[in-house]
Structure 1
Amino acid sequence: MIRHTTWRAASLACLSLLSTQAAQADLIADIPAGTGYAAWELCTRTQQSGDDYLRVRWSYTAPKVQPLPIVWTIKYTPGSKVDVSSFIPFITHKRTAIYREGLGCTLVPPGATEAGVRAQAFKPVVLPQPSVQSWPAGEGPTEAARLTPAQAALLATHGDRIFTEATTKLSQKQNALAFLVARDGHLVYERYARDYQRDQPQLGWSMTKSLTGLIAGVMATDGRLNLDTPVGLTQWAGSAKAAITWKQLLNMAPGMAWSEGYDGASDATEMLFSQPNQGAWAAERPLTATPGTVFNYSTGFATVATYAMKQALGGSHQALYDYYQQRLFAPLGIRQGVIEPDASGTPVGGARGVLRPVDWLRLGQLVAQGGQWQGQTLIAPEVMKFLVAPSPASAEYGGFIWRQPATAIPDAVRARLPADLVWFAGHMGQFLVIVPSHDLVVLRMGVSFEKDQARALVFEAVADMVEQR
């Protein structure tokens, strides 16, 4: 909190900064999005991930929501909640993120109350004792001895590149938190930033979309949904949107309008930081194209998917939570993982997956193995084939999973990458890269303010590892 700045001076300073910084990429400059982003970020990273409050506040959050820190007021209650508001007259836009054990953090926007959210019935999953077996079956240590000396040296070099900062400016730092590599089904490299450990779950942001796709894949395998049939949302009944299929939704091609930007007001920021029932709100976006024909990347569409899954399983958050915990997380050995829910109880399937890095890596290994896991078929071959295949609307995207060819990867690096490469991607430098033909899975997580550099470093590492096979 800035105590020595008058309201008038702070207001003028904020307005001045807004006029000069509003065009910066990825800047969340409007107050409702800024306070919502800050409250949820502070809550999740400190209370679910166990990170240091001051580091999260000043190194990870403040640079992202400039100029809000000039005029923000934060009330931090460990183990309970975070309140963030602006003291600009008439536009305080207070946002509260509350913590619930087993569910992580939930933002409480207008239209919801803290008491109402806390009153929602919930029973967390009971975790078995961790196995001492080697990863991925258990929690055993890294098996670096499986690497040749040349491979170990290569990974060390890329690890140093990923964790080395080229600047002292907070708004340009990479803030790498984790870099992990699995090869031939074994964890061979595992490195964390200073003061971070394996058991700290980390926010995957839009990597959650791919996790949501895998949950849909399990449900399709179990016969709980049919990818070729309409999604079946009750609020779409009798409208043109009633014909939208699961495949079209998972391909990011339902034909609905959506603006995804995070540089101010957009559908994404409105949904995430100002709507209590995010899936229902996103499902109301108008139909603007024939379903299946136009690719439109959307955090909202992935949250519509979890909203629809929740309906398909009976309508309760507990039912969907129990399903993905029991049918996906438990078989994979994923511990402490959750998709944080919105204020209505629907998991935010487009953005709020919080898993330990070793568990994000397990999801990648599942994809590398074609949906097979220790003798079990978690995702049927034909379903997994759909998830990683090019969609009719975009060759770069499958079922909530990115794939080759991808124009976001620098041309020189892309030319060195195998055709079957796919990946999960998340805001601020989250990358889970999978090369099934080489049984290679690479994870990079962090809070990067230079996402293009973070992407380039990860894919350069993957290209080098593929070529050194």
Structure 2
Amino acid sequence: MPRARTIVLAAAATLAVGVTAAYWYERPMLLTGTGYAAHNACAVTEVAGRDDAAADLPANPLVPVLRTSFADGEASTTILGVLAKQQAWATPGYGCTLASERPKGLPEPTAVDANLYTDLPLTPGDDAAVTQALAYGFGDDLGGDERAALGTRGVVVLKDGELVAERYADGFGPETPQLGWSMTKSVTNLLVGRLVQAGEVSLDDDHLVETWTDGRADITVRQLMQMTSGLAWDETYDLGTPITQMLYGEGDMGAYVASQELAHEPGAYLQYSSGSTTLLCDVVTQGRGGADAPRAQVFAPLGLSSAVMEVDAAGTPVCSSYMWATPRDWATVGQFVLQDGVWDGERLLPEGWVAESTVPVDTEIEEGSDGYASGWWANTRPDGSVVDPELPADAYSASGHDGQKVIVVPSEGLVIARLGFTPEADDNRVLAMAEQVIAALG
């Protein structure tokens, strides 16, 4: 009997060790899941003002075991109420921050007055062809499940500076901020441009991080903006990759990116990297407003009154991924660049900034990065070939995860903003919709 008991205890101990080892092996992915859910619950509630945060969780095996609570500006998510706890905290003006405690020491956010599009009445448009194009973009011809998978939530069309058409999904409207994901990178381009205009920053500035005493010291502001820094990176959302570690496991995201080693000579290779843009923001906002820099430099001058750029636990704006704004304010960003950086008669960006920022990077590129420029996506490659034949060659865009898009077509005086939640549909229809809008208004 003692021998049998010993065997049982040994087996139980082995099982416990195995379970513990398995948990610690999987913990980075579990923290990604709980971090995503906590941040999402906080931001959807506090920034977007919605009460259906679960609707923004993509299908994932972890979803059934996530347990999220929200109270007093704090969201907390665990696995089954016990494991991999992550917390997100809301701060007025700065959205939600993933951290173990409420952020402290953030500057008073700059006040932002509304722009000319904010208070216009809902504008469904009076052109039948444009209305039909938006109907296609919202999937009116699809069955319920397919339409839900398409997930279009807001479309705004500006023509020659006028709001000519818009449409919103149920539960959304002109006043509902939506997450732009990587469209935030295009706004970061505007932030850098404002600082260049003010003489605070040069695109050729190097020696950007004090601890860089090796080849990384040669990395420039321009190379961070164009994603040619050469820093090792993996944008795959998977176990232990840099992108998931940065967003869900690091309190100081800029420092984490700066710690990456060189994988390529600076300027020699374009590798899509949210880390590059996050580090860029860390570099250019230090001593220049910090968390408030996007509000002071971009949101206030353009009247982006709905816009929020969320920050990490170190107070650095997460300029790669975390800007929220209404579709009208996202379209305003497009109108601003269409006007070559002039707003209300005032030049806010250096002359030629937009033209230079929408020239595709001409170097060896990572697959899938055709047309990437300086935070914007051009519709041509360096050899002049067109990337998306549905759009004119002179088009360029801001583009983000889950189908976010602001398309600017200078030859048509046109801006189209599309916001939605499209984690599964193969085609978010934004290009085909834009093609139809161009044909209708051209």
| TM-score normalized by the length of structure 2 | 0.86
| Matching residue within 255, 273, 284 for 1:309 | 284
Residue 217 of structure 1, CA deviation = 1.1
Aligned to 2:94: 103
- Could you tell me how far apart the structure 2 residues matched to 1:56 and 1:169 are? 19
Between the two proteins, the alignment pairs up a number of residues equal to: 411
Provide the secondary structure at the position in 1 that maps to 2:235. coil
Partner of 2:341: 371
The equivalent residue for 2:109 is: 124
Give the letter for the 2:88 counterpart.
A
- The aligned runs of 1:61-460 (5 Å cut-off) are 61=57, 63-64=58-59, 66-77=60-71, 79-87=72-80, 92-108=83-99, 113-115=100-102, 117=103, 119-128=104-113, 130=114, 134-135=116-117, 139-141=119-121, 152-164=127-139, 166=142, 173-230=149-206, 232-236=208-212, 238-313=213-288, 319-393=289-363, 394=365, 396-405=371-380, 414-450=388-424, 452-454=426-428, 457-460=429-432
Amino acid at match of 1:126: A
Name the CA shift for 1:268/1:389 in 2 (closer, same or farther; >3 Å).
same
Measured after TM superposition, the shift of residue 34 of structure 1 is 0.6
Residue 463 of structure 1: which of 432, 435, 442 is its match? 435
1:376 maps to a residue whose letter is E
Q: 1:60 to 1:143 in 2, by over 3 A?
A: closer
Q: 1:239: Cα distance to partner?
A: 2.0
Letter in 1 for 2:206: P
TM-superposed CA distance for 1:383, in Å, is 2.3
Shift of 1:69: 2.2
Give unmatched runs, 5+ long, in structure 2.
1-14
The 1:358/1:139 distance shift into structure 2, 3 A limit, reads same
Secondary structure at 2:416 match in 1? strand
Does 437-446 or 170-179 show the bigger shift? 170-179
- The separation in 1 between residues aligned to 2:56 and 2:275, in whole angstroms, is 24
Question: Structure 2 CA distance, aligned partners of 1:459 and 1:38?
Answer: 30
Q: State whether residues 218 and 327 of structure 1, in contact with CA within 8 Å, keep that contact through their aligned partners in structure 2.
A: yes
Q: Quick one: which amino acid aligns to residue 44 of structure 2?
A: R
* Equivalent-residue separation in structure 1 for 2:128 and 2:330 (angstroms): 24
Structure 1 154/258 Cα, relative in aligned 2: closer, same or farther at 3 Å? same
SS of 2:373's partner is coil
- Report the secondary structure of 2:150's partner residue: coil
User: Shift in Å at residue 332 of structure 1?
Assistant: 1.1
Cα displacement string for residues 415-465 of structure 1 (whole angstroms, at most 9, x for unaligned residues): 2421111111111111111111211110111111235411xx111122223
Partner of 2:53: 56
Aligned to 1:5: none
Partner of 1:25: none
What's the CA shift for 1:73? 1.9
Q: Amino acid of the residue matched to residue 268 of structure 1? A: I
Task: Tell me which residue corresponds to 1:18.
Answer: none
C-alpha distance in 1, partners of 2:292/2:250? Answer: 24
Percentage of pairs with the same residue:
30
Distance in 1 (CA, whole Å) between partners of 2:182 and 2:297 is 22
Instruction: Indicate how the Cα distance of structure 1 residues 436 and 320 shifts in structure 2: closer, same or farther if over 3 A, else same.
Output: farther
Q: In structure 2, what residue type is equivalent to 1:338?
A: V
- Per the TM alignment, residue 144 of structure 1 is displaced from its structure 2 partner at its CA by 6.3
- Displacement, 1:240? 1.1
Distance 1:406 1:95, change over 3 A: farther
- Residue by residue over 1:175-196, the C-alpha shift from the partner in whole angstroms, topping out at 9 and shown as x without a partner, is 2211111111111112111121
| Distance verdict in 2 for CA 1:153–1:171, change over 3 Å | closer
Return the alpha-carbon distance in structure 2 between the equivalents of residues 198 and 354 of structure 1. Answer: 13
| C-alpha distance in 2 between matches for 1:322 and 1:167 | 44
What secondary structure does 1:290 align onto? coil
Structure 1 contact 429–451 (Cα < 8 Å) conserved: no
1:205 CA drift (Å): 0.7
1:211-242 Cα distance to aligned partner (Å, 9 max, x none): 11110111111111001221622232x22111
Point out where structure 1 has 5 or more consecutive residues left out of the alignment: 1-7, 16-21, 23-27, 314-318
SS in 2 for 1:361: helix
Query: Alpha carbons of 1:219 and 1:127: their partners in 2 closer, same or farther (altered >3 Å)?
Result: closer
How far does residue 83 in structure 1 lie from its aligned partner after superposition?
Answer: 0.5
SS state at 1:365 partner: helix
Alpha-carbon spacing, 1:438–1:170, altered in 2? closer, same or farther (3 Å): closer
Q: In structure 2, how many angstroms separate the alpha carbons of the residues matched to 1:338 and 1:350? A: 13
Q: If the length of structure 1 is used for normalisation, what is the TM-score? A: 0.81
**Partner Cα distance (1:29, 1:68) in 2:** 13
Tell me, in whole angstroms, the C-alpha distance in 1 between the residues paired with 2:81 and 2:307.
38
Deviation of 1:397 after TM superposition, in Å, equals 1.1
Change (3 A) 1:311 1:321: closer
Larger Rg: 2
Residue type at the aligned position of 1:347: P
Aligned counterparts of 1:36 and 1:380: Cα–Cα separation in 2 = 39
- 1:35 corresponds to 2:34: yes
Conserved? CA contact 1:406–1:414, under 8 Å: no
The Cα offsets for residues 241-300 of structure 1, whole Å up to 9 and x where unpaired, read as: 111111111111101110001244321111100100001101111101111111111111
Amino acid at match of 2:315: G
Q: Matched residues in 2 for 1:390 and 1:381: separation?
A: 18
Secondary structure in 1 matching 2:281? helix
Q: CA deviation at 1:380?
A: 1.2
- Name the SS of the counterpart of 1:235 in structure 2: coil
